């Protein structure tokens, strides 16, 4: 592997000429092994191209995969084969890669160790930024249109550097507390460590085949990866991404589970994992440093508080829960977790509040419509802390009193949403309308009246989504979520558009200050 990330292929395949007959299943498999395995692996696990397995292709519809084979993909090495292939051949190949393999692929300790590459060993690069900008007011903008990321100055809103990423990044990038390093996780299981100061990839390792997300410990020393395939959590040393431990995710009765997500809980000094197929929450502590890692924002000195349990470092603490819980949101002290439940004792889809110290269920919340709790945010309202969450299948925003654990208001919106954002210095919450015919709209909600006070349409007919504020809460960025899209800069007080920065499907923007200080208006 070279020291630079290679542009990755969405479904790159070298195919037989059109004279060949439409392939049957054995013929299609043989075709794959002869022409595609060198790029995507003999077992479809990926190589310089992505894994071609159903779970990894879940965001790409079958018809879209056929179109890629037929027409190629812009900004990649994938050419179109419309002049060489008949439609039956295209359909046969596309259908075959969406089939589950006969034998479940393996990705364990040996495979992880063999994949690790340290391009620049920790401590070998200069400690001074190679750019003239506030290192705590930078943004990483993920551009999924052509699998790149842009380092953006949060004061001037001028791009500093643009670089290639792995295919299909999943979950938000995570920073070290000083903001120097950022870690990316890809759908294909790659964990990439990027040195912002030197603008270079410094280490990579493949932690799984189908990965959900990653989390970084509050002191920046450890990285945890959550996998759908295999069913595992993977602990890495953050310095060079050395493998520390693989956790097979198995319940007390022996049942195996996918991992929905993993989170860092700095005040507890632990990782918290949401499990898809087991009625448990897992907590895995990391060693608390002798000196606290100081953070400002709403969570001061997050590592100063002792953990509320006696589990040894890196050992699993199992917390039984009365339902399968996904997509977590934590209160400010990480004493409680809200999880999206799928039935069980709560009697239907909604939310469940669990006290992480006692392991006891505190409340059920009526949050029908698949709440997207990972995008939830909090603020002070009339002397109480409230949180708000959008819903993935319901045109609503739910606002919850975090003292009484009650839904105090449900705002009707113009469609289901995916992201919400605010800032401690802003009077407004921004909520997109990601799904449905009104996806070009974004609502502005007043934090005190709890009413929608403005609905913006940045560009009719084009998806507007995912707001992120600068470190001061004075400006904000909104994505025009299209292949030929842009990041739009707004004044956070007047709501006036100030600038557009062209980008290729900018899916998310992540401010260093907000993420490292756990700002209350952004996701963690």
Work out the number of other CB atoms within 10 angstroms of the CB of residue 315: 10
- Average pLDDT score over residue span 53-57: 75
**What contacts 24+ positions apart, CB below 8 Å, involve 458-464?**
458/488, 458/497, 463/434, 463/439, 464/432, 464/433, 464/439, 464/440
Residue 431 belongs to what H/E stretch?
A: strand 428-432
In angstroms, the CA 522 to CA 92 distance is 44
Nearest Cα neighbor of 227 from 256, 250, 259 is 259
Tens-place pLDDT, residues 393-427? 999 999 999 999 999 999 999 999 999 999 999 99
Give the sign of the dihedral formed by CA 357, CA 361, CA 362, CA 364. positive
- Average pLDDT score over residue span 144-159: 96
User: Please, which residues bridge with residue 201 across strands?
Assistant: 194
Query: Which of the residue ranges 73-77, 245-249, 343-347 has the most confident prediction, judged by mean pLDDT?
Result: 245-249
- Average pLDDT score over residue span 50-57: 76
Q: How confident is the model at residue 302 (pLDDT cuts 50, 70, 90)?
A: very low
Judged against a pLDDT cut of 70, whether residue 380 lies above it is answered with yes
Radius of gyration of the chain (CA): 23
CA angle in degrees (0–180, nearest 5) for 417-422-424: 160
Q: Helix, strand or coil for residue 93?
A: helix
In the sheet with 506-511, reading across from the earlier edge strand, the strands are 159-164, 148-153, 138-143, 506-511
In angstroms, the CA 236 to CA 225 distance is 8
Q: Give me the pLDDT at residue 98, please.
A: 80
Tens-place pLDDT, residues 453-465? 999 999 999 999 9
Tens-place pLDDT, residues 214-263? 999 999 999 999 999 999 999 999 999 999 999 999 999 999 999 999 99
User: Please, which residues bridge with residue 465 across strands?
Assistant: 479
Look up tokens 């059920």; give the residue.
364
Alpha-carbon separation of residue 485 from 249, 488, 503, 511 (angstroms): 40, 9, 5, 20
Alpha-carbon separation of residue 33 from 40, 79, 94, 193, 471 (angstroms): 9, 19, 15, 32, 50
User: Which is it for strands 181-185 and 377-381: parallel, antiparallel or unpaired?
Assistant: unpaired
Question: Read out DSSP for 234-266?
Answer: EEEETTTTEEEEEEE-B-TTS-B--EEEEEEEG
Least confident of 1-15, 122-136, 221-235, 293-307: 1-15
Nearest Cα neighbor of 222 from 172, 169, 286 is 286
Judged against a pLDDT cut of 50, whether residue 20 lies above it is answered with no
Return phi, psi of residue 300, to 5°: -75, 145
Q: How confident is the model at residue 2 (pLDDT cuts 50, 70, 90)?
A: very low
Q: Give me the pLDDT at residue 57, please.
A: 74
In angstroms, the CA 227 to CA 147 distance is 21
User: What's the first-to-final CA gap in the chain, in angstroms?
Assistant: 32
Q: Give me the pLDDT at residue 6, please.
A: 37
Give the sign of the dihedral formed by CA 371, CA 374, CA 375, CA 381. positive
Alpha-carbon separation of residue 271 from 14, 143, 222 (angstroms): 42, 28, 10
Q: Give me the pLDDT at residue 77, please.
A: 62
Judged against a pLDDT cut of 50, whether residue 3 lies above it is answered with no
Q: What is the mean pLDDT of the chain?
A: 87
Judged against a pLDDT cut of 60, whether residue 21 lies above it is answered with no
Look up tokens 């992505």; give the residue.
50
Give the sign of the dihedral formed by CA 51, CA 55, CA 60, CA 64. positive
Judged against a pLDDT cut of 70, whether residue 308 lies above it is answered with no
User: Please, which residues bridge with residue 161 across strands?
Assistant: 151
Judged against a pLDDT cut of 60, whether residue 22 lies above it is answered with no
Query: What is the reported pTM?
Result: 0.86
Q: How confident is the model at residue 292 (pLDDT cuts 50, 70, 90)?
A: low
Torsion angle, CA of 290/292/293/299, rounded to 10 degrees?
Answer: 150
Nearest Cα neighbor of 202 from 118, 123, 116 is 118
- Two structure tokens written together for 484: 């030929």
């Amino acid at each position: 592997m070279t020291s630079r990330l290679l542009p990755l292929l969405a479904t790159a395949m070298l195919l037989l000429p059109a004279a060949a007959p439409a392939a049957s299943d054995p013929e299609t498999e043989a075709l794959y092994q002869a022409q595609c395995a060198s790029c995507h692996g003999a077992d479809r696990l990926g190589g310089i191209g992505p894994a071609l397995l159903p779970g990894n292709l879940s965001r790409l519809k079958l018809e879209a995969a056929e179109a890629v084979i037929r027409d190629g993909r812009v900004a990649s090495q994938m050419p179109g084969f419309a002049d060489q292939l008949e439609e039956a051949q295209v359909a046969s190949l596309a259908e075959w890669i969406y089939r589950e393999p006969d034998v479940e692929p393996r990705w364990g300790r040996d495979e992880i160790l063999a994949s690790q590459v340290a391009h620049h060993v920790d401590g070998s690069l200069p400690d001074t930024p190679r750019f003239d900008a506030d290192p705590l007011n930078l943004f990483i903008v993920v551009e999924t249109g052509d699998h790149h990321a842009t380092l953006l100055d949060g004061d001037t809103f001028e791009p500093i550097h643009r670089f290639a990423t792995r295919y299909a990044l999943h979950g938000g990038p995570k920073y070290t507390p000083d903001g120097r390093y950022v870690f990316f996780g890809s759908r294909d299981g790659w964990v990439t460590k990027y040195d912002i100061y030197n603008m270079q990839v410094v280490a990579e390792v493949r932690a799984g085949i189908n990965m959900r997300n990653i989390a970084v410990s509050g002191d920046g020393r450890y990285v945890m990866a959550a996998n759908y395939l295999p069913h595992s959590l993977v602990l890495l040393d953050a310095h060079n991404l050395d493998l520390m431990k693989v956790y097979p995710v198995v319940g007390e009765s022996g049942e195996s589970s996918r991992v929905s997500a993993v989170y860092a809980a700095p005040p507890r000094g632990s990782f918290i994992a949401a499990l898809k197929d087991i009625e448990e929450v897992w907590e895995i502590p990391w060693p608390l440093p002798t000196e606290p890692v100081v953070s400002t924002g709403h969570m001061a000195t997050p590592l100063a508080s002792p953990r509320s349990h006696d589990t040894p470092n890196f050992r699993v603490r199992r917390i039984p829960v009365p339902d399968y819980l996904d997509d977590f949101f934590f209160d400010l002290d990480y004493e409680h977790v809200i999880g999206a439940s799928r039935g069980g004792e709560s009697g239907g889809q909604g939310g469940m509040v669990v006290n992480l110290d006692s392991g006891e269920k505190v409340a059920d919340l009526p949050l029908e419509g698949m709440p997207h709790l990972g995008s939830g945010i909090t603020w002070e309202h009339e002397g109480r802390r409230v949180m708000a969450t959008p819903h993935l299948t319901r045109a609503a925003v739910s606002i919850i009193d975090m003292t009484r654990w009650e839904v105090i208001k449900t705002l009707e919106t113009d469609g289901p949403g995916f992201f919400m954002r605010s800032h401690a210095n802003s009077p407004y919450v921004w909520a997109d309308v990601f799904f449905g015919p009104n996806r070009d709209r974004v609502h502005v909600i007043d934090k005190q009246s709890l009413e929608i006070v403005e609905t913006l349409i940045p560009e009719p007919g084009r998806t507007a989504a995912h707001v992120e504020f600068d470190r001061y809460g004075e400006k904000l960025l909104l994505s025009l979520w299209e292949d030929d899209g842009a990041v739009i800069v707004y004044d956070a007080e007047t709501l006036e558009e100030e600038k557009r920065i062209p980008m290729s499907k900018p899916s998310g923007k992540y401010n260093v200050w907000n993420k490292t200080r756990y700002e209350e208006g952004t996701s963690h």
